[in-house]
């Protein structure tokens, strides 16, 4: 692979990750109390590390199950036990579908 091809591929991947960060803010912004990583706009990488608001903290796991979304608990990757990690490296379509389903589950009564 030529270096110009590699640079173009890296640019495309970076754009996809940033777009997924946009989706994260769009669909979960109102449910998040703290965020770092891609969606924070000032951090790099390919993950969102976040905490949900106290209002949904107890029902968030149930909403994940209902939506069919799998995330990594923060304590599994060295963060707070009350936080979560989401990969921003999936396709934009996959990420948007997952976040839409999670937002829908969070809006339903009882998370």
> How many separate domains does the chain show?
1
For the whole model, what pTM was predicted? 0.88
Length of the chain: 111
pLDDT at 63 over 90: yes
Q: Kindly report, residue by residue over 32-45, the tens digit of the pLDDT.
A: 999 888 876 666 78
> Which CATH number covers residue 101?
3.90.1150.10
Which residue range forms the structural domain that includes residue 93?
Answer: 3-107
Residue 51, classed as helix, strand or coil, is strand
Q: Kindly report, residue by residue over 75-109, the tens digit of the pLDDT.
A: 888 777 779 999 999 999 999 999 999 999 999 87
C-alpha closest to that of 20 among 90, 100, 101: 90
- Sequence-distant (≥ 6) Cβ neighbours of residue 35 within 8 angstroms: 24, 48, 49, 50, 51
């Amino acid at each position: 692979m030529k270096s110009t091809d590699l640079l173009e591929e890296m640019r495309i991947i970076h754009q996809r990750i940033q777009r997924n960060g946009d989706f994260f803010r769009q669909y979960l912004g109102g449910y998040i109390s703290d965020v770092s990583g891609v969606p924070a706009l000032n951090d790099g990488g390919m993950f969102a590390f976040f905490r949900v608001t106290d209002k949904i903290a107890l029902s968030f796991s149930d909403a994940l199950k209902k939506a069919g979304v799998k995330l990594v608990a923060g304590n599994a990757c060295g963060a707070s036990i009350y936080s979560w990690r989401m990969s921003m490296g999936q396709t934009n379509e996959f990420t948007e579908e997952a976040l839409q389903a999670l937002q829908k589950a969070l809006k339903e009564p009882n998370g």
